[in-house]
Structures are given as C-alpha cells and as structure tokens.
Amino acid sequence: MSHRVILGIESSCDETAAAIVRDGRTVLASVVHSQIDEHAAWGGVVPEIAGRSHLEAIRPVLSEVFAAANLTHHDIDAIAVTARPGLLGSLLVGVTAAKSLSWAWNKPLVDVHHIEAHAYAALMSLDEWVFPYITLIVSGGHTSLYRTDSPLEHTLLGATRDDAAGEALDKGAAMLELSYPGGPSIEKAGALGDPKAYAFKLPMLDRDSLEFSFSGLKTALLYKLKGPGGKRTDPTLPESQDLSGMAASFEYAVAETLSRKCARACAQTGIPRVLVGGGVARNSRLRARMAFQGEKHGFQATFAKTEHCTDNAVMIAGLGHARLQAGCQADLLLDVAAR
C-alpha cells in the first residue's frame, strides 16, 4: 500500500509539533508550539515543565494542523512519531498520542529517529539527491558527523566528547549574561562585533579526528571574561567588556570549528557534499563560515530551511514517509528511548 500523506508528531524536547506532509516533500501544514518562554527563567529545559507542557499542547496542536491543512483524518495514510532520542517524559506524550490516533483511526504507525529526521530536513532543501553526503547535525543536544548513504543509512564519523555546540552557545550566553536560548542571543549580540576581537583556540583541530569537544571553549570564555582560574561571580576584566566582540569571537570559534571539521570529513572521505541540520544550523555565522570553507576546499553545503532547523514535525513526517516506503512500521507496543 502506498502511504502518501503522513501526519508527523514531534515532542522529543521543548517543542510540541505536528505536520502533514505529502510524498515526503510537500508540506501541507506545520504547527510548532514552542515552550521556550516556559523554560527561559530556568536557563535551560526543565524536563517536568516540558512533559506538562506537551500534554497541554498536544491536542490543540493536532486540531490546528488538520484545520491548517483543511484535511480530516480520512485524508491521512499513516502516522509518524519521534520515538528517540530525547527526554523520556516528553517523548512519551507524543508517542502515546500517535499510538492513540493509529489505533482509533486504523492507520499505520511508524517510529522515527530524531537525529535522522534532522538530516532528512536538510535533504528536503534539495530537488535531487546525490548520495553519499557528509551530514553535520548540530543542536543543543547533539553535535555529530555522519556519512549518509540514503535517508535511512547514516554511519557515524565523529561526535562531541562532551558539550554539544548549541549547549556551549547556551552556556556561553549565560556567562555573557545574555538571555536563553543562547544561540540566537549570541548571534544578535555579536552581529556587529569583530569575530577576531578575542582569540579562542579552536578545539580538536590539531589532531586527525572528526570528534568535537566544546567544554574547553566554554572554560576559555570564562577565563577570558574573569581572568585565569576566574569564577562566574568574579567581576569581568576591563579588557573583556566588549560584549559584541566577545560574542562574535566565541560564536566564530564554534562556527569555524564545525566548518573545518566538515571540510576535513570531505577530504578524508572524498565526498564533496555536506548536509547541515539541527537548531544551530540556523546560525548565520555558521552558514557563512561553511560557505567559505566549501569554496576553499571544494564542497557544497546544503542547510535545512531555517524553519526546519529547530525541532519540527515536517522532518518527522518526511522521514516517516521514507521509512514506510522501505517497509518499516511500528506497533502499539512502541517504546521510547533517551538515546
């Protein structure tokens, strides 16, 4: 049976989302309910707040996506849902909702891996696919490089050993006393700053690996602001009070590290095509540095559309379509997993 119109559901972290997508490509409707305001006061995602918010949002989000698409459940061929990785309490709300709809409407159910879906979001930006690709997934929870041979085949080449790039940006923003989420705040604060105003050593570029490490960069920012061995409560050094320069330099260090690692992955594998997805893929400096490195080293980088970088259900429905075409299906015993 051909499954053409897919309802996607995403609830792995702090966004409750639903989308209806035809043939894995055409977005008929997409609704995202963000919880950022509910978590902002805490400086990060609070799992219990997230779980409660998903429960409140799931039914209105479902109603809204059908209304926006001007469709009913009779028009849906299957339901796709993020089952991993993510916050368990958050994933459980989306998966329970998806199983309930699948049972009530007698529709097939398919589970989707959230990280693979971010890669699919970047593939959706391309009219034609020429596999293989080097895929960089970069967000608040993940920083990983893969070799992608199809929408369903991803081989890990390297990942972060500690903080994800987005997590480093969040923590860096907190040190700079900028608001949560840190990525957009640092981008805004550093928009007019000199990215060479403060020199940061780019992490893990001195060895031949495709792994990342951002926790040292975070410590370097702290010491630049407060002096060697300084604490967050210490006063900021007089020479470190150029906020826009500091934000731009820190953001540059993150973006340049990611771009150069992609260049290295292309050189090592001989693959001249890069896909970039995940929340940090929205970052303008990363897009600019990736374009620069691509021109210098002969690779073409394709980013997910900005509205498909942060968590959304379009990519879930899209990848769900690909999985159904490949014969994958889940049943009512589908479970969730944090990793």
Count the Cβ atoms, other than its own, within 10 Å of residue 268: 13
The residue from 49, 197, 291, 328 that contacts another protein (CB under 8 A) is 49
The residue from 52, 188, 287, 297 that contacts another protein (CB under 8 A) is 52
- Note if the bond before 184 is cis, omega within 30 degrees: no
User: What binding mask, one character per residue, do residues 156-175 give for another protein by CB under 8 A, x or -?
Assistant: ------------------x-
Q: Is 336 in the site for another protein (CB under 8 A)?
A: yes
Q: Which of these segments, 99-107, 141-149, 190-198, 246-254, binds another protein (CB under 8 A)?
A: 99-107
Closer Cβ to another protein, 42 or 129, answer by number: 42
Distance set, CA 68 to CA 18, 263, 310, 314 (Å)? 11, 41, 20, 14
Cβ 89 to another protein shortest distance, Å: 6
**Which candidate, 166, 167, 151, places its Cα nearest to that of 279?**
166
Q: What span, in angstroms and rounded, lies between the C-alpha atoms of 94 and 97?
A: 5
The residue from 59, 196, 201, 296 that contacts another protein (CB under 8 A) is 59
**Which candidate, 264, 246, 140, 143, places its Cα nearest to that of 200?**
246
Closer Cβ to another protein, 16 or 283, answer by number: 16
SS3 assignment, position 26: strand
Q: Are 225 and 240 within 8 A, CB to CB?
A: yes
The residue from 23, 26, 42, 306 that contacts another protein (CB under 8 A) is 42
User: Under rule CB under 8 A, how many of the chain's residues touch another protein?
Assistant: 36
Q: Is 309 in the site for another protein (CB under 8 A)?
A: no
Q: Which of these segments, 149-157, 188-196, 226-234, 327-335, binds another protein (CB under 8 A)?
A: 327-335
Q: How far apart are the first and last CA of the chain?
A: 31
**Which candidate, 279, 246, 228, places its Cα nearest to that of 175?**
246
Q: Is 287 in the site for another protein (CB under 8 A)?
A: no
Q: Is 36 in the site for another protein (CB under 8 A)?
A: no
Largest CA distance in the chain: 68
The residue from 100, 241, 268, 284 that contacts another protein (CB under 8 A) is 100
Q: Is 71 in the site for another protein (CB under 8 A)?
A: no
- 177 Cβ contact partners less than 8 Å away, ≥ 6 residues apart: none
Instruction: List contacts with another protein (CB under 8 A).
Output: 41-43, 46, 48-49, 51-52, 54-56, 58-59, 62-63, 73, 88-89, 92-93, 96-97, 99-105, 174, 331-336
